[in-house]
Amino acid sequence: MGSRTKNSARNIIFSELSYAAILILQFANRSFFIRYLPGEYLSLNGLFSNILSFLSLAELGIGGAINFALYKPLKEQDTETLKSIMALYRRFYIFTGLTVLGSGCVLAPFLPHFIKEAPTHIGHMYLYFFLYLADSGISYLYAYKRSLIICDQKEYMVSIITSLFHIAIKLLQIVSLFLFRSYTVYLSLMIGASLLQNLMIAMLADKMYPFLKDKRKKKLSPEISKDIKKNAYALLFQKIGAVIVYATDNLIISRFVGFSSVGVYSNYTLVIQAVQTAAYRFFDSITASIGDFAAANGKREVEKILYRVLFINGWMFCFCSACLFCLLQPFIRLWAGEHYLLSDKTLVVIILNFYLEGMRATLVTFKRAIGLFWQTRYRPIFEGFLNLAVSIPLAVRFGVAGTLLGTIISTCCMSGLLEPYLLYRSYFKKGFWEFMLCHAKYAAIAFGASCLTMFGCSLVSMRPIAGFMVKAALCMIIPNLFMAFMFRKNENYIYLKKFVVQFLKKKIPGSYLCSRSTK
């Protein structure tokens, strides 16, 4: 128990601290990008990112299935099985990297068909695409060794290396933009950093797990091979659905709204994704510990942890949504300028989509931790095609806001209802309405906290920078006080409040998320 607790806390602390440093440099990097390169390059960034997300379908979901297969042999220190699984992992990811590179080369001639109007300031679009493609292909070379470290609950080690490289590359890219104003140099630095980072993580894995160098490997047992194939088949559908839902926004905007709109929207997505990533790092850091806990405890205890994590999930995204409602527009205005602003109506849709997507984090975490892939295999496909069917006509009619409305509709219809239903029916073997009622309660509190915070911020009338700082202070206070009042008798709130007090008194890193105690 102590090891699981210590690893979870250490992973969370290192993950969040490292990301805070990266985030500051990421915004500085984007500021120089906007200043020294034409705005169309920003649109190109967003478009290429979505295209490469589609190419990542070559991964076929096998990576996630193999990750799940690693938990048991790691716990049992079964090096023979680990060697066999990692050998399979290596062969598969080399194949995936080559497939991504090949698919990208085939797709390249069709790039103009993804753009509504041809960009006027971009002369080497194909060169830029191939540089992006090379960076994506390199990322698969040593991914299997990175996954072994993470599955062994030592993600903080990977976080240190990736953070140092992210910080270094962002600084070098800022210098290159200032000196050369070249997108080619900017992308080339990104490729070099990806290669060096993967090599260093591979060297760390070889040092931590000497058996990786052992060429003598047994054939995987039929039972493990069958489980990997079954889960990979299920994860393939989930990956296809996720790509269609979350990696088509820029493609739809570029093709049906306008190429320049991709650049404007990308600044909002940079902020939204920065907040999401910070939040999701918490969930990523506890996934392995939840998987370990679920393997050693009954479903009743696992459900207690589910509600505990859901409470943290609700508090996080209630607070973040309230802050974004009040601060996102002023921040874009101060940072990028008036010409990079979207309408307030579009802002509401962006943040609603952010909240609904964020509240899925608990279910996604538990689904990954307990290996619930097969039972939910078809849901993402239905969600993905529903999203496309709704988003395209809405994008034509309402622009950027319409694109996101399509995502919201598909998320509510499929993820909002079907995902928890499948988890409860397949794993807990009981009804899911209590869980949905809890979700609805958190949504109502999030709405109330956002309205109250927006009212408080609307009373602020000062110069832009001073006004932003005052609003930020109000956003830190109002939603948290409101939630503390609303949750004052909630068992999870009382439990976590006690944990925070104990943590501050003892100053010992730890987490009771996966303890045997009651809520």
Residue range 112-130: mean pLDDT, rounded: 82
| Residue percentage of the chain with pLDDT more than 70 | 92
Contacts of 162 (CB under 8 A, 6+ apart): 18, 197, 201
In sequence order, what DSSP letters do the residues of 305-334 get, joined into one string?
A: HHHHHHHHHHHHHHHHHHHHHHHHHHHHHH
Q: Which of 499, 466, 497 is nearest to 484 (CA)?
A: 497
Q: pLDDT tens-digit profile of 34-52?
A: 999 988 899 898 899 888 8
Tell me, what's the pLDDT at 512? Answer: 47
Distance CA 500, CA 504 (A): 6
Please, are residues 286 and 12 in contact by the beta-carbon 8 Å criterion? yes
Q: pLDDT tens-digit profile of 275-287?
A: 998 888 888 878 8
HSE toward the beta carbon, residue 503, CA cutoff 13 A: 14
HSE toward the beta carbon, residue 240, CA cutoff 13 A: 15
pLDDT band at 435 (very low <50, low <70, confident <90, very high): very high
In sequence order, what DSSP letters do the residues of 35-86 get, joined into one string?
A: HHS-HHHHHHHHHHHHHHHHHGGGGTTHHHHHHHHHHHHHHHT-HHHHHHHH
Distance CA 31, CA 496 (A): 38
CA dist list (Å): 424 to 363, 368, 427:
10, 15, 5
Tell me, what's the pLDDT at 471? Answer: 97
Residue range 18-30: mean pLDDT, rounded: 86
Q: Is the pLDDT of residue 139 over 60?
A: yes
Two structure tokens written together for 219: 């054939």
Tell me, what's the pLDDT at 1? Answer: 45
Two structure tokens written together for 444: 């109502």
HSE toward the beta carbon, residue 239, CA cutoff 13 A: 19
Which amino acid is present at 263?
Answer: G
Please, are residues 321 and 354 in contact by the beta-carbon 8 Å criterion? yes
Please, are residues 263 and 43 in contact by the beta-carbon 8 Å criterion? yes
* Residues written for the chain: 519
Tell me, what's the pLDDT at 36? Answer: 93
Tell me, what's the pLDDT at 61? Answer: 61
Tell me, what's the pLDDT at 222? Answer: 84
Which amino acid is present at 38?
Answer: P
Distance CA 83, CA 204 (A): 16
Q: What average pLDDT does the structure give for the chain?
A: 86
Residue range 183-190: mean pLDDT, rounded: 95
In sequence order, what DSSP letters do the residues of 230-276 get, joined into one string?
A: HHHHHHHHHHHHHHHHHSSHHHHIIIII-HHHHHHHHHHHHHHHHHH
pLDDT band at 413 (very low <50, low <70, confident <90, very high): confident
Q: pLDDT tens-digit profile of 143-168?
A: 788 889 888 878 778 888 888 898 99
CA dist list (Å): 302 to 23, 298, 428:
34, 6, 9
